[in-house]
Structure formats: C-alpha cells, structure tokens
Amino acid sequence: MTRSFKAPVFHGLLACALGLSLGAPLQAGVNGFQLVNQTGSTIGGVALRRVGGGDWMPLGVAPASGAGARAAFADVDCAFDLRATVAGAGEVIWSGLNLCDVKSVTLNRDRAGRAWVDYD
C-alpha cells in the first residue's frame, strides 16, 4: 500500500526539515589564517588576545623570518591583539588586528621599531 502526501503537508514538512538543517545563522569569526613573518628577525612566543585585554592564547606557530605558517585558530570574534618576541627587539604587540575573512596576516616591523600588518 502506498501513501501520497498532499502538497500542503509535504511543503510543511520540507520547510521544517530545512529549518532544522540550517540551524542558527552563520556567524562571522576567525577560521584559521596564514601567519607570515616579515619582521626581518626570528619570532617566538606568538600569542593572541581579544582587543582590549584578557588572557593571551598561544597561537602555536612562529614562522622563520621570510616564511609563513598556517595558524589553526578559530573564534567567533574578529578583533585581536597579537604578541610575539622578536629577536633583537623583545616583545612586540600588533594591536587591533581584524582576523575575519583573511587568508593571511603578514607581520612587519621596520628598523625604527614601527610594527604593522598587511592582510591578504
């Protein structure tokens, strides 16, 4: 014996199934990025914290000078400070990084000590 669904019932079930499968709306956030070291020096102790303070979270990567490494970091927030120990300069903080929707973050530092990032 076969049963047939009436259109209104079928459409109602379909709408319910789609609603359950979509779940909560997607949120912006960080979902990993390539960290590139263009400071001209070796870096270490790379860590992130949310802008404005909080605990530093080790990033787990420290690319050599001129190299890059994939940072497997995920968070619902976008704005972070990044800290690294730069050989010959000590601790350097890059403040207010926007890590959402970026493929790579390049850390730069000139001889005068100015630090900035480039995004890709």
d(Cα 75, Cα 97) in Å, to the nearest integer?
13
Q: Which CATH number fits domain 30-119: 1.10.10.10, 3.90.330.10, 2.60.120.260, 2.60.40.2890?
A: 2.60.40.2890
Within 8 A by CB and 6+ apart from 3, the residues are none
pTM of this structure? 0.75
Amino acid letter at 18?
L
Name the DSSP letter for residue 47: E
Going from N- to C-terminal start, the domains of the chain cover 30-119
Q: What is the pLDDT of residues 74-104, one digit of tens each?
A: 999 999 999 999 999 999 999 999 999 899 9
d(Cα 35, Cα 73) in Å, to the nearest integer?
11
